[in-house]
A = this chain, B = another copy of it.
Amino acid sequence: MAVNTNRHFGKGSSEPSFANDGQLRLFSMRFCPFAHRIHLVLNAKNIPYHVAYINLSDKPEWYSKLNPNGKVPALQLVNEPGEPFLAESMVIAEYLDEKYPEVKLFPDDPLEKAQTKLWVERFGSIAGAFYKLVYEKNADDVNEQLLKTFYAELGQYETELARRGTRYFAGAKPGIFDYAVWPWFERFGILGSLIGDKYSLDDKFPKLAQWLHLTREDLAVQKHLLSTYTHTQFSLGRRDGTPHYDLLVEES
């Protein structure tokens, strides 16, 4: 099977043969928000890379052998001795920022950099609430408490963006703060189809809504963008225990 397609490698697949061209190899899953971060960072830095998508419910044997950690995202550095793998999205992102500094995404200032990391870390609670809202939803009942937490935390980001007074969290251009949280914002629309009117960003958070529209047009984001419809399709399948990894692959 070829790399750089939207098809996912599953159990029984044979190991992909990458072109021997020195390009980085990203092991990803098309619908994983953490892996999404690395696509955005690579895109923003104009770093060419190969990608192999992994079926996480039915992992290929060759992948566990190649990368015992077995997780995605994983970035294989084919130009380093031993062709090592890096894991953890923010570790990979910072590595790429130091190794390919032409387009800088992390702040240079130590304090700004630390604060950016803390904002990204903190976003985990929004991501967690969102995940539960989508995957632990009862048929007729929205968890109001969870929705409250979700909105309360989003409010902190609205306030922070207003305080910064910039178009993006990172300033005049998107930076790692924007790219690290974007994958979840791209998916928040899923809530619309699940809980309907109760989900809205525009009324409650005008700054975030503006940021959302701007960031969606960013080229790095555009290159990996999926529609709310597609994200919803994947989420519904996953919630029912049948994640459709190859949703994007046209049957011919």
Chain A residues within 8 Å of B, Cβ to Cβ: 77, 80, 84, 86-88, 91-92, 94-95, 98-99, 110-111, 113-115, 117-118, 121
For residue A85, which residue of chain B has the nearest CB? B118
Complex Cα–Cα for A94 and B114 (A): 8
Complex Cα–Cα for A95 and B118 (A): 12
B91 touches A121 (CB 8 A): yes
- Which single member of B84, B92, B98, B117 contacts A91 (CB below 8 Å)? B117
For residue A117, which residue of chain B has the nearest CB? B91
User: Chain B's nearest CB lies how many Å from the CB of A88?
Assistant: 6
A118 touches B80 (CB 8 A): no
A121 touches B84 (CB 8 A): no
List residues of chain B with CB within 8 A of the CB of A99.
110-111
- Which single member of B91, B113, B117, B121 contacts A118 (CB below 8 Å)? B91
User: Chain B's nearest CB lies how many Å from the CB of A15?
Assistant: 23
User: Chain B's nearest CB lies how many Å from the CB of A102?
Assistant: 14
A95 touches B113 (CB 8 A): yes
B98 touches A113 (CB 8 A): yes
Complex Cα–Cα for A91 and B119 (A): 11
List residues of chain B with CB within 8 A of the CB of A115.
84, 86
- Which single member of B84, B95, B114 contacts A110 (CB below 8 Å)? B95
